[in-house]
Amino acid sequence: MTIKAGEKIPQATLLKATPEGPQPVDTDSFFAGRKVALFSVPGAFTPTCSARHLPGYVERAGDLKGKGIDEVACVAVNDAFVMQAWGQQAGADGKVTMLADGNGDFAKALGLTMDASKFGMGTRGQRWSAIVEDGVVSALNIEEPGAFSVSGAEHLLGQL
């Protein structure tokens, strides 16, 4: 079942690359008491994700924070090292927190997976964005397969 606005983000453990190595990020703690702009991409370094999705959030991170967002975070079914390298390449450091859902457990718990096997990528997270307030989804924007129209930073800004 797909998560909906008004529902609590499920508990999961994501990973974030740090100088000390990958560190666990508990979703309950990460979202507690804060307003987070969260977006998901099918894969780091993939065409739309690299050319439009992540760059939009990097460019608009200050605008989002100016409208009350405490943190902007990107999640993908990739490992923490790939997410770190992609974030560095995109200039995300200090703007967008890169979170790895290596096994896709978070995407599965949200009910937001997609089968990318025909591209050699297996099960991935769908493309979407959300505003999460104190662990509860207040806005959720799920893209149709192959689309990029409602999950970008501009659309999310309009919802704040």
- The catalytic residue positions are 49
- Residue 59 vs residues 10, 84, 91, 152: alpha-carbon distances, Å: 29, 18, 9, 11
Contacts of 136 (CB under 8 A, 6+ apart): 6, 7, 8, 9
Residue in 54, 94, 75 with CA at minimum distance from that of residue 10: 75
Question: What gap in Å lies between CA 47 and CA 52, rounded to an integer?
Answer: 8
Helix then strand then coil, % of the chain, to nearest 5:
30, 30, 40
DSSP string, 19-64: TTS-EEEEHHHHHTTSEEEEEEES-TT-HHIIIIIHHHHHHHHHHH
